[in-house]
A and B are shown apart, each in its own frame.
Chain A
Amino acid sequence: MNLILVTFIILLAFTSYYFGRKKALVIQSSQRLTALPKFYGYYLAAWCAAPALIIFALWSVFEPSIVKTFILQDYTDQNLTKNELQLIYTKVKALAAGTYTGNITNFLDESANKYIQLKGIANSAKVAIILAILIFSLSFAYRSVQKNDRMREPVEIFLKWVLFVASLGAVLVTIGIVFSLLFEAIRFFQAVKIFDFIFGTHWYPAKTFVRDGQPDPELMKDAFGAVPLFAGTFFIAFIAMCVAIPIGLLSGIYLSEYAGRGVRKYAKPIIEILAGIPTVVYGFFAALTVGPFVKEIGNAMGLEVSAESALAAGAVMGVMIIPFISSLSDDVMTAVPQNLRDGSYAMGATKSETVKKVIFPAALPGIVGSILLAVSRAVGETMIVVMASGLAANLTMNPLESTSTITAQIVVILIGDQQFGDPKTQSAFALGISLFIVTLFLNVIALSVVKKYREKYE
């Protein structure tokens, strides 16, 4: 029903576009148009679709809760809690849909009939109202077209609002995500002291699991220390950057300054393919190939190496990040104006001197930007760590031992059956928001660094 209604509105809007344009051509024969004929079409189409769709959307949002209020009115005298009322309403809906399997009481049956009836009324009312609005707004718009009012401005204003609503949507969703993280995190911090979370050195949430009951507060104190996770996150990211920055930068320099056109044409896409490999693939590459390889080499050298080592995960993550750095730094260095290169060569500078003294400094803001982008990518990377570096949150600075990161722990916490009110589950949100704050902080630093260098070099 809803689908038919929306399709009808959209078809009508298209029709009114062509109708409006045709009407404009008719007007043109007797008087000067106020805008191009297509604006007449847009005007009619916008008036046709926008009000009807807005009302339709509002109706769809509010209808269920209004119907619910009507149904539950009959139960107000029974002194039920909110959850029980919700359960009854779910039962009524299921009964009306014919999917209810429990005991059917008279009272429920009555409610279900009432529900079906209300739904029917609501549907007919919706169709009637929307048709009325269509007729009203179309006739209003058609009258303006007939009077040959100014068409361009209303259409432009309408477009501005469409764009505004789109950006508003994006902003609101972001704010919503942040707040949902924040509220759950606050609930977590009611159970666990924020001090214990930030400065605790022991992460072992499974310890708090108690069947049917509140966990011991003493246990809670020592189970949610996030220091090992932060340390692990930055440690693995550091290993990754040790691999990615030199290789990425040097290959970026080669591609932009040294490679011939033929080499560049093929090498650049091939490097960029690295960025398109799913991280899961990197994950099992790290877990099944690099991890054992590192272990073997370590054992041959007489070192004790865990099969799941931070080194393996970090190194593979570094490989994954290479294209970010090489491709972006290649782009920014290629964008350095040719006349700077010419100026340097004409002074008798060699290629490497030109790169070191002119191109690289001029491209530095972009290069720093690409590196910081790569860092936040490394900090947020999950899959490789989950697969290759183990899940035990060791507080260690030894790259040959296994360690875990924030993102990997969030995965561990949220897979499988979870109880929502449990501090263990809520700790995922606390981790999530701390990760968010860290990456936000990184981005702010990145922007200010870039800005500082840009001021210096432009």
Chain B
Amino acid sequence: MSKIKAENVNVYYGSKQALFDVSIDIAEKEVTALIGPSGCGKSTFLRCLNRMNDVIEICRVEGSIKMDNLELNSRKLDVVRLRENVGMVFQKPNPFPKTIYENVAYGPTIHGIAQSKEEMDQIVETSLKKAALWNEVKDRLDEIGTGLSGGQQQRLCIARAISVSPEVILMDEPCSALDPIATAQIEELIDDLKKEVTIVIVTHSMSQAARVSQKTGFFHLGKLIEFGPTDKIFKNPDNQQTQDYITGRFG
């Protein structure tokens, strides 16, 4: 079932066009990977899905992006509500300079989700457990989040993202700053999370895309070249450019 449906999305940074007529269907409770060489527009597309491009003054988005029939690329959209539903994990772990507890409680607090301290404790515990971090930090929830290791910080960011029970989580190269063991932990986590949420992940690592995703889209120079089941993209792509990229001939 389709969760997000993008049609003819064009994105401009000032006068420079970064995305050309991208149309894509993202299925519910699946992992969709976006791959492609640096600067191909995959992160730009990802940031359209939770309107993070609003932060960039010169950025302009055209086209239609519908999530459950709600038009995302509309002036009338309540961005705060959207971002509550669409969480994001960034390339570099970016926990707030607050305690581990406060980091996870951040979203529930600003959206007024928890009614009592007990409820908040419960949300924090569940989120940390889902992010596979609970056992490592349960005795030091009042320590500063930035004091954790890189992999732990990234899992803390994932816990922060899932604390408000989003329907979609966007991941922008979540493992590029992590070592192989931390990467494996995050990938395992993604596999668990997809039972409940839709995940869109941008990655540089083709093996990672192959491991974690069910659908893969290949971007090149701002265009979506090919989109389909991951197996097909990696074993038997239709497009020659995709074939070249997958086999490492460019990019």
A-side residues, CB < 8 A to B, are 260-261, 337, 339-350, 353, 357-358, 361-362, 456-458
**Can you list 27 A-B pairs, Cβ within 8 angstroms, ordered by A?**
A339-B90, A339-B92, A340-B94, A340-B96, A340-B97, A342-B52, A342-B88, A342-B94, A343-B90, A343-B94, A343-B95, A345-B55, A346-B52, A346-B83, A346-B90, A347-B107, A347-B110, A348-B82, A348-B110, A348-B111, A348-B164, A349-B106, A357-B106, A358-B96, A361-B98, A362-B96, A458-B146
Contact: A347 with B83, CB < 8 Å? Answer: yes
A342–B83 alpha-carbon span in the complex (Å): 11
Contacts of B83 in A (CB 8 A): 345-348
A131–B57 alpha-carbon span in the complex (Å): 69
B149-164 with Cβ < 8 A to chain A: 157, 160-161, 164
Contact: B90 with A342, CB < 8 Å? Answer: yes
Contact: A349 with B110, CB < 8 Å? Answer: yes
Closest A residue to B92 using CB positions: A339
Given contacts A261-B57, A339-B90, A346-B52, contact A457 B97 (CB under 8 A): yes
**B81 an interface residue at 8 Å Cβ cutoff?**
yes
A426–B110 alpha-carbon span in the complex (Å): 61
Contacts of A347 in B (CB 8 A): 83-84, 87, 106-107, 110, 160-161, 164
Contacts of B161 in A (CB 8 A): 346-347
**B216 an interface residue at 8 Å Cβ cutoff?**
no
Shortest CB-to-CB span from B121 to chain A, Å, is 19
Task: Give 5 closest A-B pairs by Cβ, nearest first.
Answer: A348-B83, A346-B88, A339-B94, A457-B97, A348-B84
Contact: B52 with A345, CB < 8 Å? Answer: yes
Shortest CB-to-CB span from B120 to chain A, Å, is 15
Given contacts A337-B94, A343-B94, A458-B146, contact A348 B88 (CB under 8 A): no
Contact: A456 with B144, CB < 8 Å? Answer: yes
Closest B residue to A260 using CB positions: B57
Contact: A343 with B55, CB < 8 Å? Answer: no
Contact: B50 with A346, CB < 8 Å? Answer: yes
| Chain B 70-108: CB-based contact to A (< 8 A → 1; otherwise 0) | 000000000111111001101010111110000000110
Contact: B96 with A348, CB < 8 Å? Answer: no
A337–B164 alpha-carbon span in the complex (Å): 24
Contacts of A345 in B (CB 8 A): 52, 55, 83
Query: Among A340, A347, A458, which residue has the most Cβ atoms of chain B within 10 A?
Result: A347
Contacts of B88 in A (CB 8 A): 342, 346
B-side residues, CB < 8 A to A, are 50, 52, 55, 57, 79-84, 87-88, 90, 92, 94-98, 106-107, 110-111, 144, 146, 157, 160-161, 164
Shortest CB-to-CB span from B217 to chain A, Å, is 21
Contact: A343 with B57, CB < 8 Å? Answer: no
Contacts of B95 in A (CB 8 A): 343
Contact: A342 with B96, CB < 8 Å? Answer: no
Shortest CB-to-CB span from B57 to chain A, Å, is 7
Contacts of A348 in B (CB 8 A): 79-84, 107, 110-111, 164
8 Å CB contact of A458 from B55, B84, B97: B97
A346–B160 alpha-carbon span in the complex (Å): 10
Contacts of B98 in A (CB 8 A): 361
Shortest CB-to-CB span from B114 to chain A, Å, is 14
Contacts of A357 in B (CB 8 A): 96, 106, 110
Contacts of B55 in A (CB 8 A): 341-342, 345
Query: Among A337, A345, A348, A349, which residue has the most Cβ atoms of chain B within 10 A?
Result: A348
With A340-B97, A342-B90, A345-B52 known, 18 other A-B pairs at CB within 8 A are: A260-B57, A340-B94, A342-B94, A343-B160, A346-B52, A347-B83, A347-B87, A347-B106, A347-B107, A347-B164, A348-B83, A357-B96, A361-B97, A456-B97, A457-B97, A457-B144, A458-B97, A458-B146
Contacts of B87 in A (CB 8 A): 346-347
Contacts of A346 in B (CB 8 A): 50, 52, 83, 87-88, 90, 161
Contacts of A350 in B (CB 8 A): 80, 110
Shortest CB-to-CB span from B123 to chain A, Å, is 13
A357–B103 alpha-carbon span in the complex (Å): 11
Contacts of B96 in A (CB 8 A): 340, 343-344, 357-358, 362
A342–B90 alpha-carbon span in the complex (Å): 9
Closest B residue to A455 using CB positions: B144
Query: Among A337, A339, A345, which residue has the most Cβ atoms of chain B within 10 A?
Result: A345
Contacts of B81 in A (CB 8 A): 348
A458–B147 alpha-carbon span in the complex (Å): 8
A350–B94 alpha-carbon span in the complex (Å): 18
Contacts of B57 in A (CB 8 A): 260-261
Closest B residue to A348 using CB positions: B83
A457–B144 alpha-carbon span in the complex (Å): 8
Contacts of A349 in B (CB 8 A): 80, 106, 110
Contacts of B157 in A (CB 8 A): 343
Contacts of A458 in B (CB 8 A): 97, 146
Closest A residue to B98 using CB positions: A361
A296–B80 alpha-carbon span in the complex (Å): 50
Contacts of B144 in A (CB 8 A): 456-457
Shortest CB-to-CB span from B165 to chain A, Å, is 12
Shortest CB-to-CB span from A260 to chain B, Å, is 7
Contacts of B107 in A (CB 8 A): 347-348
Contacts of A340 in B (CB 8 A): 94, 96-97
A357–B108 alpha-carbon span in the complex (Å): 13
A261–B56 alpha-carbon span in the complex (Å): 11
A343–B164 alpha-carbon span in the complex (Å): 14
Shortest CB-to-CB span from B174 to chain A, Å, is 13
8 Å CB contact of B97 from A261, A353, A362: A362
A456–B161 alpha-carbon span in the complex (Å): 23
Closest B residue to A356 using CB positions: B110
Shortest CB-to-CB span from A261 to chain B, Å, is 7
A344–B97 alpha-carbon span in the complex (Å): 12
A341–B94 alpha-carbon span in the complex (Å): 9
A347–B96 alpha-carbon span in the complex (Å): 12
A339–B89 alpha-carbon span in the complex (Å): 11
A292–B78 alpha-carbon span in the complex (Å): 51
A337–B96 alpha-carbon span in the complex (Å): 10
8 Å CB contact of A353 from B84, B110, B146, B160: B110
Contacts of A457 in B (CB 8 A): 97, 144
A261–B157 alpha-carbon span in the complex (Å): 30
Contacts of B111 in A (CB 8 A): 348
A364–B211 alpha-carbon span in the complex (Å): 43
